[in-house]
Amino acid sequence: MSVSTAASAQSVCSPLPVLGRDVTVPLVTGGEVTYAALDYAASAPALQRVWDDVAAYAPYYGSVHRGAGYLSQLSTDLFENARRTVAEFLDCRPDDQLVFTRSTTDSLNLLARALPADCQVFVFETEHHASLLPWQDARVTYLNAPRTPRQAVETLERALADRDPHGPALVCVTGASNVTGELWPVRQLAAAAHAHGARIVLDAAQLAPHHPVSVRDLDVDWVAFSGHKLYAPFGSGVLAGRADWLQAAEPYLAGGGASRKVTRREDGGVAVEWHESAARHEAGSPNVIGAYSIASACKALSEAGFDTLVARERHLIEKVRAGLAEVPEVRVLSLFGDDAPRVGVISFVVDGWNSSHFAAALSAEYGIGVRDGLFCAHPLVRTLLGSDPQTQGECGAPEAAPGEKSLNAIRVSFGAGTPDEHVERFVNAVRELVADGAKWTYRTEDGRCVPAV
């Protein structure tokens, strides 16, 4: 084996260090085991690099944009440098604005508040609720779930061709599904949107931790993502993109930091002049630690190299998919089919099992953390499971007791910090549970399956 080949093989086999990799948890059957965190799609663990950077900065924490003291000045520089680092990570255009928010949900609600009057929004029913629900005060057209990437583009083109060509329009689309992990044809959807005079916002919550996201290359108008899915779980998110709609909108939150000048009027009221920069939508004391942690994660992922990260993740995806394919009772959920490119997010159901029961057994008997439910993407999961997508349900809550037919699924998700052993233990646990059944008795408590004591 050559030196370069050996180095490549080593890079594929080495996860990035994350917090919690040595945590042990008790098993109901006795003893303890190292916890296998396979719920990255909900919240990824913090990178060790991010934690170390935050810990090193913490003694120097000060208020941002507020003080003349050394720590405030240092913190302000750190905050604005973080903005530049994240903009570079996203390959933003020179005139783009980058606003720090609380999450993807917060980012898309901010954009929804900034829509021009009479804006029409187009969104597929397959979106996560964070990108499905914020637009309800606008004229929304919900598009049916496509079954191929090409069909997604054709569906959008037909819908845009029928719209009022003179009014503003926005398309909202995910980059990678939080249910199936499948990659969406973002560049082609952006081209379709722009060809019909519409703009497009990319929900990159599940894409950015796994693949490079270039605003320029994808030609999207905005991109939104969350720190807690990008190995930086410190309460920050990002909305980056074109400044005009954001500058024209009233501030998302009214308060200090968003205002440039406040005076009393002769009628006794207050006159406000708002900032036109990103500060316009960052009222209050900014979450400098959250912003800095996102920037730290962006640097760590960039330095590791996405080519290496993507190759390693494909290696893990192949392990999981091959293992699940050997269990006839398992059905993996998919919109675009087995050959569709995807990130490390896989949802499935098991014949004869309530998904909550199965997930509870994985945790209690094997120390494996996955997720069960509808994953805050109810219409999509219900479509994939063959039910009415308008039926209501609670996020993550099973709808029947163990052993009864229930409309929910199991999701396993992983990323840059996942060791091979975790996915191997998961695949072996699935085989054992299907073949031998649970070793423990479970009951329903507050809508969830838990071990009986």
Catalytic residues: 376
The Cα 422–Cα 414 span in angstroms is: 9
Contacts within 8 Å (CB) and 24+ apart, 63-69:
63/285, 64/285, 64/286, 64/288, 65/257, 65/279, 65/286, 66/285
**Residue type for position 261:** K
In 3D space, the residue among 336, 10, 286 whose CA is nearest the CA of residue 152 turns out to be 336
Residues paired with 237 in a beta bridge: 101, 226
Number of Cβ within a 10 Å radius of residue 336? 21
Q: In the block, which residue shows the tokens 């499971």?
A: 385
d(CA 129, CA 169): 20
Q: Which residues contact 241 (CB under 8 A, 6 or more apart)?
A: 92, 96, 97, 201, 215, 220, 221, 222, 223
Structure-token pair, residue 432: 């054992």
Sign, Cα dihedral of 335, 341, 345, 347: positive
* Spatial CA neighbour of 189 closest among 210, 174, 169: 174
Max Cα–Cα distance, the chain, nearest Å: 82
For strand 330-332 and strand 270-274, is the pairing parallel, antiparallel, or unpaired? unpaired
Contact predicate 350/425, CB 8 Å: no
**Would you say 342 and 180 are in contact if contact means Cβ atoms under 8 Å apart?**
yes
